[in-house]
Copies of this chain bind each other. A is one copy, B any other.
């Protein structure tokens, strides 16, 4: 019996060993910071959003990773999942208050990322070029 596709339980991030004050926020940061989380949190912070809306608005995300990201955020209490029993099914995701506290900070990071994209791309090219042609 292998762990199912939707089993997002995570021994590594189970936050054991509370007495050693382990579970440094590296774990928490990692969760927030995983490739798609920021965009999902920002998207759901304003209003309830449907699965397909997210899939369309987040460039490059796969169905699978979107599902996993949503499950993990839900597990961590950052997202609420609401199912409306109708045909066709309708599922909405909303950021919890806890997650909404993050909004401004994450938005600031996202803005920074957007502003600095060109700079970073240039820095990378520069770094790589120097590495190939060391200044001897």
From B32, B102, B117, give the contact of A33 (CB < 8 A): B32
The interface size bin for chain A is 35 or more
User: Are A121 and B59 in contact (CB-based, < 8 A)?
Assistant: no
Chain B residues, CB < 8 A from A108: 104-105, 108
How many chain copies does the complex carry? Answer: 2
User: Are B112 and A105 in contact (CB-based, < 8 A)?
Assistant: yes
From B28, B39, B74, B105, give the contact of A127 (CB < 8 A): B74
Enumerate chain A interface residues (CB-CB to B < 8 A). Answer: 7, 9-10, 13-15, 22-26, 28-36, 38-39, 59-61, 74-77, 98, 101-102, 104-106, 108-110, 112-114, 116-117, 119-124, 126-128, 131
